[in-house]
A and B are shown apart, each in its own frame.
Chain A
Amino acid sequence: MPREQLLSKVFLEVADSLVADFDVLEFLQQFAEHCTELLDVAAAGILLGDEKGHLQLLAASDEHTRLLEVFASQSGQGPCVDCYLSGRPRIHIDLTDPDVTLPWPQFTTGARAIGFTVVNAFPLRLRERVIGALGLFQTQPGHLSDEDVLLAQALADMATIGILQQRTLAHNEVERSQLQYALTSRIILEQVKGILAERWQVSVDEAFNVLRAYARAHNQRLTQLALAITTGTFDTDQIPHTAPSPTL
């Protein structure tokens, strides 16, 4: 898809986030995927600060567990944390340069292990505060162009809008509640990946892909579907899956 067209699609999806029936995780996952295409990076992740100021992963462009772990290792260290704390973008961070990566040994090891060589981090800004960061990971050397950097910050701002749903921006209480709900939903999703992986005897990554495909095909909201699975109110046999069922 040409860039302009893709960008229009992103705008439409952000606008959709302002209507009532909206799933923040679903939106952000798609959004992260778009970021990788628009900016030609290998992976993108959206991280939110929790009440203690630790960064938590909310959504990633792909849900491979190893990638999620790299993001998780950033709760305390890494370029995204620096960006979150300073409120400034950290761009073109070269992970192959030991001088640069000195402060983040754990993060660097994990990121290098899956082939990332360059990281860029942009703040999710809300008025004078910073609520999280957008992390962009490259496997190829090469810098984002000036234009890309502007676009990346604009995308980070759009993610903020999606997360907070503009109409409620007036109340701080509501902001924090929504951030909290988004983080809780993220944990539910991980728990459900495990449940499905075991029921179907597939990997957690596969379980997620099947679940998401089902939610999309049936116009169901991912978070609600996940919650219904944990409470046992949704029969997961309704979801077609290819792997053989375990003999019971």
Chain B
Amino acid sequence: MISESMTKVLCFLEEDDSAGGVDAAAAAGAAALDVSGLAVSLTATESGLEPVACSSDTARSFEDAQFTLGEGPGVNAARTGTVVCVGDLTNERPDRWPLLLRELMGLRVRSVFCFPMALGAIRIGVLSATRHTASRFTPEQMDDSLALAAALTTRYLATMDEVPDHADALDFPESLEHAVIHQATGMVSVQLELPLSQALLRLRAHAYSTGRPITDMAHDIVNRRLRLSPTGDSTPPSLPVKD
């Protein structure tokens, strides 16, 4: 379950949609998790992972190193969609991340915990926590981190929205957990030749503009009672980018 301090961070993220919101959440999240650095990196098409918010210089330089070298636990987490935890980097097989591990001395990072930001096959980035000492995460810290990664995923998915006037739509409904929404996302992605991430946004934008629950709409799409049209504002397929 989620700790009290992380619950506060999640509430803050939900209410604050300012540009600095993620930076503030990273700083508060680092304190809640008792880590020396917390970083958010987004997946960019060509260049791999790009840091967008870092709570400390340590976090920043570790993210930069992974970004430059193109390898590291964060890169693995983003690519495989699985959580990657390394309790002690000095015990890691040298061939796992040969370039990064050689830089360790200068980076002052001993343990690292990377959580993919993803909704099924929609992968948008990774949340990474670092500590100066060898350590493990408690079950509560694991849950806290997963919840924070999920909240950031929601936030970035919303800000990727290219349809205007949905600033109030930052939060996904609870019903997003329903299978039918993911099925409809897959169908719309084929119909409109969009990546899954954009198909989901299209689905959501349509739900908001028509004022219908997204689950009802998804049912109509899956049962072929509704088909979204590629409207004039349709954009060429592209991968998620930061705003």
Q: State whether A191 touches B185 (Cβ < 8 A).
A: yes
Closest A residue to B144 by CB, please name it.
A51
Pair A193/B183 contact, Cβ less than 8 Å:
yes
Spot the interface stretch: B49-57, B102-110, B117-125, B155-163: B117-125
Contacts of B85 in A (CB 8 A): 173-174, 177
Q: A1-9, A25-33, A197-205: which lies at the B interface?
A: A197-205
Question: Measured between C-beta atoms, what is the minimum distance from A91 to chain B in Å?
Answer: 26
Closest to B183 in A: A194
Cα A231 to Cα B177 with chains together (Å): 22
Q: Is B142 an interface residue (CB 8 A)?
A: yes
Among A112-120, A156-164, A179-187, the one that faces the other chain is: A179-187
CB-defined contacts of B143 to chain A, threshold 8 Å: 51-52, 176
A181 to B85, CA, bound (A): 14
Residue of B nearest to A197 (CB): B187
What's the dominant secondary structure at chain B's contact region?
helix
- Would you call A245 an interface residue if the criterion is a C-beta within 8 Å of the partner chain's C-beta atoms? no
Query: Which one of B142, B179, B184, B190 contacts A173 once the chains associate, using CB atoms below 8 Å?
Result: B142
Contact of A198 (CB < 8 Å), options: B137, B142, B191: B191
Tier of interface size on chain B: 35 or more
Residues of B within 8 A of A191 (CB): 120-122, 182-183, 185-186, 189, 196
Q: Give bound CA distance, A230 to B239, whole Å.
A: 13
Central interface residue in A196, A197, A227, by most chain B CB within 10 Å: A197
Distance (Å) between the CB of A126 and the closest chain B CB? Answer: 11
A226 proximity list for chain B (CB < 8 A): 121
Contacts of A43-57 to chain B: CB distance below 8 A: 50-54, 56-57
- Starting from the known contacts A52-B1, A191-B189, 18 additional A-B residue pairs (CB-CB under 8 Å) come to A51-B144, A51-B146, A54-B177, A68-B179, A69-B178, A69-B180, A75-B174, A75-B177, A171-B136, A173-B83, A173-B142, A176-B83, A188-B120, A190-B120, A191-B186, A194-B183, A197-B222, A204-B187
> Can you show 26 pairs from A to B with CB atoms below 8 A apart?
A51-B1, A51-B144, A51-B146, A52-B147, A53-B1, A56-B177, A65-B180, A65-B222, A69-B180, A72-B178, A173-B113, A173-B136, A174-B85, A175-B139, A177-B82, A180-B82, A184-B116, A190-B186, A191-B120, A191-B182, A191-B186, A192-B121, A194-B185, A195-B186, A230-B196, A231-B121
